[in-house]
Amino acid sequence: MSLPNKQCVKENYDELGGKLYNVRYIQEQNSKYDAALVLTLPKDEEIILDDGCGTGLLLKRLDTTSVGLDLTPALLREAKKSLKAKCHLVLGDAEHLPFRDSIFDVVYAVTLLQNIPDLLGCLKEIKRISKTGGRILSTALKTAFTIEVFDRFLENAGFIKYDIIGDAGTNDWIAYADNL
- The whole-angstrom separation of Cα 141 and Cα 139 is 7
| Residue from 108, 128, 124 nearest 175 by CA | 108
Question: Where would I find the beta strands (DSSP E) of 29-143?
Answer: 48-51, 66-70, 87-91, 104-109, 130-141
Q: Where are the beta strands (DSSP E) in 2-147?
A: 48-51, 66-70, 87-91, 104-109, 130-141
Q: How many CB atoms lie within 10 A of CB 22?
A: 18
Which residues, in sequence order, are CB contacts of 2 under 8 Å at separation 6+? none
Query: Is pLDDT at 4 greater than 80 in this prediction?
Result: no
Q: What is the pLDDT of residue 143?
A: 92
> What are the tens digits of pLDDT across the range 150-161?
999 999 999 999
More reliable by pLDDT, 27 or 152: 152
Does the pLDDT at position 61 exceed 90? Answer: yes
Domains and CATH numbers, the chain: 6-178 (3.40.50.150)
The pLDDT-based confidence of 22 (bands split at 50, 70, 90) is low
pTM comes to: 0.90
> If pLDDT is split at 50, 70 and 90, which confidence band does 169 have?
confident
Helix (H) / strand (E) containing 10: helix 6-16
Helix (H) or strand (E) holding 174: strand 172-178
As beta bridge partners, residue 166 has 174
Contact 114, 140 (CB under 8 A): yes
DSSP-derived secondary structure letter, 172 = E
> What are the tens digits of pLDDT across the range 121-137?
999 999 999 999 999 99
Q: In angstroms, rounded to a whole number, what is the distance separating the alpha carbons of residues 111 and 171?
A: 10
